[in-house]
Every structure is written in C-alpha cells, then in structure tokens.
Structure 1
Amino acid sequence: MASKASLLLSFFLLVSTCLARHQQQQQQWQPQNQCQISRIDALEPVERIQAEAGVTEIWNTDEKQFQCAGVEFIRHRVQPGGLLLPSYVNAPLLSFIERGRAVQGVILPGCPETYESSQEQLSGQSERRGQRFQGVQQDRHQKVENLKEGDVVAIPAGAAHWIYNDGDTELVAVVFFDTQNNANQLDQNHRRFFLAGNPQAQSQQQQGQRQPRRQQGREQPYLNAGNIFNGFDAEFLVEAFNVERETIEKLQGQRDQRGHIVNVEQGLQIIRPPQSRQEQEQEQHQGGRQSERQGRRQGERGQGSNGFEETICSMKLRENIDNPTHADFVNPQAGRIANLNSFKFPILRQLQLSAERGQLHPNAIQAPRWTINAHSLVYVTDGSMRVQIVNNAGESVFDDELREGQVVVVPQNFPVIKRAGEQGARWISFKTNDNAMISNLAGRVSAIRSMPVDVVANSYQLSRNDAQKLKFSQQESLLFTPNFSRSQGRASA
C-alpha cells in the first residue's frame, strides 16, 4: 500500500509540475495588460535593412501599442528592376502599394500551375539567349498579379510570395502583420522564412548603427536570416531535387552577398496576362459578387452551400482601395472613406483582417468614433492630420499631429477623432477583424443621436432645448465640413 501511495503521490507531483510549467509558458507567451496604455506616440521606422536593390524599414515591435494590438509593420522600398526574394511569414498580412507598380506572385499550396509558356514564347526566349529551342523546357507557374498604386494584397500565413518592380520609379509597399491571428501558432514574433538568397549578408552592415532595445525572446525577421535551404544537408538536397551539387550550393545561397532585395539583369521574363485582360477579370469578379452573396445566404440556410475549399485557388488576392467609385462615404466638401472588408474582398474572411482608406479635405473632420471589434493601425500616406485618442478612463493618450509616413495604433474601443491639416490628409487603416464595426459619437448616425432627448438632458445636465441641439445640430453623418468661421476665430485668438 505504501508503494502505491508513493507512486500516486509522484504522479500527482509530476502532473502538477507540468501544469504549472504550461501555465507559466502561456503567461510568458501572452503578455498581460498590454493595453493598459497611458500614452501613445506617433511612430516612425527605427531600422533600415539595406539590400542590393532596395531597403526595408522596420517599426519597433517593442512599442506598447504594437504589443497591445498584436501587430507589426514594415515598409519595403524596391528600386526599378528589383526583386524581393521569395519568402513566407508565420502570420497573415495585408500589403498596400503606396507608390509605383509591380508584379507579384503568391504560391498557394495544392493549387494548379495555370500559367504556361506558348511555343512562340519559348522560341523567342531561346533565340535571345542563344539557346537551341529543342532543349528548352516549357515553363509553368501559378498566376501572378499586376499591382498598381492603391492596391491592397492579402496573403495567408505560410503562403510563399515574391514581388518585382517592373516600373520606372521606386516601389513603396507597406506591410501589416497580425501576429496574434489564430493562423499563427508559433509566438508573437513576425518571422520571415526566405526561400532564396542570404539576407544576413547586407543586413549585418547595419548592426553598427543604433538598434532599438528588444525584449527577450523577440526576433528580428531580417537580421541573421539565411534562407531555409541553408539548414539542410547538401547531399539530401541533391537527391531531393535531382540536380548537381553546384546548383544546390547556389540554392543554399551561402556566398550570395546581395541581401533580400536583388537586381534582375535584363528584366524579369515571366508569363502574365496583359493589364487590360486583368481589368476585365476584375469587372467579371465584381459582377459576380451579387450571385456570390446569394450563394452565401443559401449556404447559411443549408441550400446548396459552396465550400470555401473549392474556391481558394481562384480567389482574388488583390483589390484596389483608391478607386473613387468604391467609396462607401462621400462628402464633397469634406472627403471620402472606402472600406475593404470580407463582403467586398472575400479572402479577408479567412485572414480576419480588413482595411480602410480615408481622405479628408483641408481642416475637415472625421466624426469621433470607436471601433467595436478590432484594433486599428493608422498610416498616413499624404499630408497630415491632428489625431486625438482617449482611453476608458477618459484620459487623452494621444493628441498630436500625425504626419506622412507615421503610424499610430488605435486600440479596440478607444475613441478617436481626426482633423486634417491645411494640406488635407490621406491615410490607410489596417484592422484586426474582417468586418470591423464602427460606432460614431457625433453626427446624423451616432450614439448621441440615437438616445432619447430626456436621456441626453439628464445625462449631461442640459435643458431639453440644449439636449435637442446637441442631438440634431450636426446633420452630416461621418465626414464633417470644416467650419471656417470657428477656425478663423481660433486662429485670431
């Protein structure tokens, strides 16, 4: 009996120890009270990772506002003819083309290679390269996208992708990562897995500069980052690819000194549709949205549901958010707002992300509001605006000018108001929900407007007449025309 009791006690202690360690690891992996923020700052990139044909600028992930939202943010600047090497990330991402144009490929596992070269293309390429046509293997690959300014690209976690600047000007693309997304089961670090090159080669040259303090366990996705083939035994790869060892050595990239963005000599020869055909496909896609919504409604009622897995290979991965015809709210005197959610861009349902594109005319105001079900990251692309953010204690945590190229995070439920500067403002917001819901505080459709007059009067100690003015004086809904008389009065004072 004594031995059995001893065995049971040992087993109990073992289980208790394992549970305690598991809880400790969970607490370390999920920082507590990260949204107890007393101050938010406008942020700019703190690191520049230089490469042969461009640079990647990185915002400090240790900032409390980033940790609160569980997001990260970077900006790629790719020179004409530059190729951002193929890689994949452990978290879903949204990329916004701020300037320039590009060609991008996203490799979705299990999807067919629908683009293939014709006999004429093969013959022409062989003649240009001085090869014999008979020995050229027909090229096949998954589809590529022509990107332009204003495009939002959605890429699932773990999907390999690359981007090539085929224009005459610098390509500027900002990238938003949701590291707390359910698709990421590693940790709260944005980790990039390169399939080519030797990114650490040029990155190490930046280590002499001042680097921001990083929390223990948080990784930098570009520093000391060789490509994934470098970790395999070369002989294994020779057999796996059935090629010569010299080719495998280049695959591993140990001697590659170009960094993660490389120059492409004589342009990139790839198979892609002309822009006009792609625009036609976009129109066809938009025309089919109504039938798609009807199909979803039928599916919700159990009538002929079409599974998501049947459309993943043909789903659209890009949508232009700058097109004025896509705007959801327009005030000719104040500006416009365009929302990109899963109803307009179905793949966002899988990523659980969305975006908002805003434009305010000089001195115009966006109604004070809060986002019910998402954190928001605001990035200014043009001009400037004064932004105020308030926490649950009624304290101002941000009251400053947000200028072009700066970022601020608005935590879920934190009220925010924006007012454009003298030159106006344009921004893009990335949100951690595929259908972010907004509640306005002022205007024709707002929380105050929806309350009974007596509730407003007694809540704010107002007369019934003043309560009615508070409710009904602002007739615009979301974007408010600037009141020039009041602005001039404040300026003269």
Structure 2
Amino acid sequence: MGSSTTLLVLLFVLGNGVAVTMGRFLRTEVEVIEEDLDEELFLVKESKLVANTSAGKMVVFYDRRVPERLQIATTTMEPRSLMIHRFLAATNVMYVVSGEANLGYIDQNNQRLTQIRLREGDVYQIPAGSAFYIANEESDQKLEIISGIEPSQGLGDDVFQSFYIGGRANSGLSGFKKEILEAAFNVSQEELGTFFTGQKMGVIVPLQGSHATGKWSKFLELKEEEKLQQLREMVQQGQENEEVEKEDEESGDDEEEQQQTSLPWRMLFKSVFGEEIKNTREKITEDPPRSYNLNKRKPDFENKYGWRVAVDGSQYHPLKSSGIGIYHEYLSAGSMMAPRVNPMATEYGIVVNGSGRVQVLFPNGSNAMDTNITKGDVFFIPSNFPYCEIAHKGESLELLGFTTSAQRNRPVVLVGARSVVRTMEGPELATSFGVSKEEIKHLVSAQHESVILPTP
C-alpha cells in the first residue's frame, strides 16, 4: 500500500475516532458533501462595514452558523485619527498589527480612566461593558488592529452592537428626546444643538483640520484626572437630575415623563461608571492590566519551515475572564502545518500576509473544505475537525487567530515526528490498518520533522 494512500486511510480512522460536537454540521453538510462539495464551507464571507471615513475603516466578519461564535474585526486608522468614545457590550481582545495606539477606557474594577500605549505586537483585552476610545496620534504611520470579539447574546444580532457616546449619526445619546437630554445634561436646548451637530464624520474622525474635531484633540491633551473629571461631571449632572425627578415624582408631576428621563441615564451610568463615583484624587490600589506583546514571546514551536506562538489565560491573566485565546503562526514558502485537530475549541484565522491553502475534514473523515486563502481572508475550524494549512510554493503564509478557549489549549498533532501516530506506533496500530509491524513502523517513522513540515 502506498504511503499517500495509507496516510489518507489513517486520517479517516483518526477522524472517525474523534467525538462529534457539531452535529448540526454533520447532519446538514455531510449529506450534501458527497454530491456537491462546498470548497469554501468554512470561509467567513459575511461582513459588515462598521466605519468608513477618510480617517479610517472598520470591518466586522461574522458567521451565524457557528455555535461558539466569535467575530473578527479589522480596523485601519490613518495618522492623527480617533475612534470616538464608545460603549461595547462585548469582550474585545485586540492585537496591534502595525503602528501605535493610545487606548483609554473606564476600568470596571476601580472606576478610573485607564490609559495605555499599545505598540506593534501588543495584545490587550477590553472587558465587556467598558467605555473606551482609540487614538492614533502618530503623524506619519497608520494603525492596524485585528480584534477577536465575543458578542453578548442579549439581542441576538449578527454583529455586536456599539453604543457611541460621541458623534452625530452614530451617537447613542442623540436619539433621546430634547427634553430628556436637557434635563440629563442640565443645559439649554441651544447648547445641546451645538454638542450633537458638531461631529458629522462618523465613527473614526481626524484629530486635526476642522473645528468639529478640535474638541477631541483637546480632550486627548487633558491629563488623566481632567479627562475623567469631564466624564464624571456628566454623571454628577445626571445624579442631580435624578434627585429633582424624585421630588417631582413625589409631587405627582408628569410621572411617566420623569421615568423616561431618568431610566436610560441611570442604566448607562450604572453600567459604565458603577454605582458610586469615586473622588478623582482617591488613591488607586489596583493597577490596570498591562498589555502582552506577542511578538516578543518565544514561539511555542519553531524550525526552519516556520513557527507558531499561542497565548492563553495562563500567560495573560485577563484572557481568563473572556474565554478567548490568541495565536500567531508563520509558514515559509511551500511549508505546511501538520494535520491536527483541536478537541477543545473552535479556531478562527485571518490571513495577515501571503497566501496558501487550508483543508478541513469532517470528523468522519470526509472532505469538508479544500480552498485557497489570501490576505484578508477569514476562516474558522470547528472543534474536533481535522485540518491543515499549506503555504503556496512561491509565497509565505502568516496567520493571526483567536480560539474560543482561554485554557491551556493546543491542537493535537496527528502526523509527524511528534504526533499521535508516532506515539501510538505498535502492533495494535498495525492491526488496525491490516499491515505488518514493519510496514507501520516505516510509515510513521518516515517523517523526521515535527508540527511544521516541508511539502513534497
């Protein structure tokens, strides 16, 4: 029996021995696969353009078929630009592909404005329920970010929902009735008109060049305490208005309207800023988490054909709360990742550079997908589905990815010098293939490389 035929049979046997966790795929897709193979079954083709201005662009990729779903977002920001303040009801694990970012968000533990500088290769998690902004203050360098986002399950929307604090058309505040905003901010209608019509560009705006964006530049120039004080003044105004509303409610004046006024703001303030607003000079006893630089981490595996590095909650503590892991891998031209399977998590990958090919099998061993991938393509691998990636002969392949588990989670390598078949080599394995001990020993010992292999 030829080695290629034996390897195929081996993959079928291993595939049949894997527990099936995605029965829906097996019931619906395997029946079709024999007659009409979908060569792009696990490519993520659905996307939404969340932001597109002269200052930057953000695209979200999603797939409604995946039970353990993540959404992959790619963000590009021009020099001197800002992604305006937003409230995101989803965990956001960010990776800086290139450039540098100034990130500011309200830390949920100590209710202060946390500011951190992120550089190329940095990983940072923004917890669900945080208000934040991202600024690219560099004058000559674009900022590129890839994010793995775990959306909340509340509304069942295809794409995560963002509540933008600033901006005009996108602001989550501007839709309130004028009388509600007047009471909440404690300012006149004329003042509110200027506030909510000044920014016309959208989600990503320039930091220079117009009066409309000047307030953002000024905000970023403030010291940390001054920034937080501005936000807290809004909160304080809301609290004072609630006291007035309570008095009015007790007198029975316009009770229904007063409830409409206070409820949205009370929910917002409690969600973003917490039940109590602490003094800005209060000593902070708990430091915010630092970023984790993936580029400086020694690869988990490396040889002359490529490398792979993965980070989970044991290396970067904030990931424990999200249940998201992250990995980065590089294959030199013509090399391949050995066939493997992830029994614990669904994996998502996006091609950062280069091009190649990815093949995925159903757990029963039949071919699920075999397709070419190039820069910008997003795909996912369901747990317990064997797969491998191959770089094209004339070009390397670089992938960044996220997994739905933050535990110590490594794919199980099926073939190679350090693999399942090498460990299982013996008379039992020979019997399962119906070959001699000599033949099985030759087959499983022929490959001297591990994890990342040369292609013929």
Same fold (TM over 0.5): yes
The corresponding residue for 1:335 is 306
The superposition leaves residues 176-209 of structure 1 with CA deviations (integer Å, 9 ceiling, x where unpaired) of 2223xxx6444254111111113x4xxxxxxxxx
Report the alpha carbon displacement of residue 377 of structure 1 after superposing the two structures with TM: 0.7
Match for 2:192: what amino acid?
A: I
The corresponding residue for 1:463 is 436
| Partner SS for 2:431 | helix
Matched ranges for 1:80-229 at <5 A: 80-113=79-112, 142-167=113-138, 168-179=140-151, 184-189=153-158, 190-198=160-168, 200=169, 226-229=170-173
For the 8 Å contact 2:357–2:371, the answer to whether it is kept is yes
Report the alpha carbon displacement of residue 443 of structure 1 after superposing the two structures with TM: 2.1
For the 8 Å contact 1:68–1:411, the answer to whether it is kept is no
The corresponding residue for 1:433 is 405
Report the alpha carbon displacement of residue 254 of structure 1 after superposing the two structures with TM: 5.0
* TM-score normalised per structure 1: 0.65
| Partner SS for 2:221 | coil
The superposition leaves residues 301-348 of structure 1 with CA deviations (integer Å, 9 ceiling, x where unpaired) of xxxxxxxxxx9953425222122x4321111x1111111100110000
The superposition leaves residues 261-309 of structure 1 with CA deviations (integer Å, 9 ceiling, x where unpaired) of 111127542548xxxxxxxxxxxxxxxxxxxxxxxxxxxxxxxxxxxxx
Matched ranges for 1:53-452 at <5 A: 53-59=55-61, 61=62, 64=65, 67-113=66-112, 142-167=113-138, 168-179=140-151, 184-189=153-158, 190-198=160-168, 200=169, 226-251=170-195, 253=196, 256-265=199-208, 268-271=220-223, 314-316=287-289, 318-323=291-296, 325-331=297-303, 333-421=304-392, 422-435=394-407, 436-452=409-425
Match for 1:104: what amino acid?
A: L
Distance 1:464 1:178, change over 3 A: same
Q: Distance in 2 between matches of 1:365 and 1:396?
A: 18
For the 8 Å contact 1:53–1:82, the answer to whether it is kept is yes
For the 8 Å contact 1:81–1:264, the answer to whether it is kept is yes
For the 8 Å contact 1:70–1:188, the answer to whether it is kept is no
The corresponding residue for 1:126 is none
Q: Which runs of 5+ in 1 are unaligned?
A: 1-30, 114-141, 201-225, 273-310, 487-493
For the 8 Å contact 1:328–1:338, the answer to whether it is kept is yes
Distance 1:448 1:74, change over 3 A: same
Match for 1:33: what amino acid?
A: R
Q: Distance in 1 between matches of 2:176 and 2:23?
A: 38
| Partner SS for 2:443 | helix
Report the alpha carbon displacement of residue 45 of structure 1 after superposing the two structures with TM: 6.9
Q: Distance in 1 between matches of 2:222 and 2:298?
A: 31
Q: Distance in 2 between matches of 1:32 and 1:93?
A: 29
Match for 1:262: what amino acid?
A: V
For the 8 Å contact 1:356–1:430, the answer to whether it is kept is yes
Distance 1:446 1:196, change over 3 A: same
The corresponding residue for 2:241 is none
Match for 1:229: what amino acid?
A: L
Distance 1:317 1:350, change over 3 A: farther
Report the alpha carbon displacement of residue 169 of structure 1 after superposing the two structures with TM: 2.2
Q: Distance in 1 between matches of 2:222 and 2:443?
A: 61
| Partner SS for 1:359 | strand
Q: Percent identity?
A: 23
The superposition leaves residues 88-141 of structure 1 with CA deviations (integer Å, 9 ceiling, x where unpaired) of 22221222222222111122235253xxxxxxxxxxxxxxxxxxxxxxxxxxxx
For the 8 Å contact 2:107–2:114, the answer to whether it is kept is no
CA RMSD of aligned residues (A): 2.7
Q: Distance in 2 between matches of 1:54 and 1:256?
A: 15
For the 8 Å contact 2:46–2:63, the answer to whether it is kept is no
| Partner SS for 2:429 | helix
Q: Distance in 1 between matches of 2:411 and 2:429?
A: 21
Report the alpha carbon displacement of residue 470 of structure 1 after superposing the two structures with TM: 2.7
For the 8 Å contact 1:93–1:176, the answer to whether it is kept is yes
| Partner SS for 1:92 | strand
- How many correspondences in the alignment? 352
Match for 1:476: what amino acid?
A: E
Q: Distance in 2 between matches of 1:108 and 1:250?
A: 30
Q: Does 1:474 find its partner at 2:447?
A: yes
Report the alpha carbon displacement of residue 374 of structure 1 after superposing the two structures with TM: 0.8
Distance 1:347 1:424, change over 3 A: same
Report the alpha carbon displacement of residue 242 of structure 1 after superposing the two structures with TM: 4.0
Distance 1:98 1:45, change over 3 A: farther
| Partner SS for 2:123 | strand
Q: Distance in 2 between matches of 1:112 and 1:70?
A: 30
Q: Distance in 1 between matches of 2:286 and 2:372?
A: 43
For the 8 Å contact 1:45–1:57, the answer to whether it is kept is no
Q: Which runs of 5+ in 2 are unaligned?
A: 1-21, 209-213, 225-283
* TM-score normalised per structure 2: 0.70
For the 8 Å contact 1:376–1:411, the answer to whether it is kept is yes
For the 8 Å contact 2:92–2:149, the answer to whether it is kept is yes
Q: Distance in 2 between matches of 1:80 and 1:406?
A: 25
Distance 1:312 1:170, change over 3 A: farther
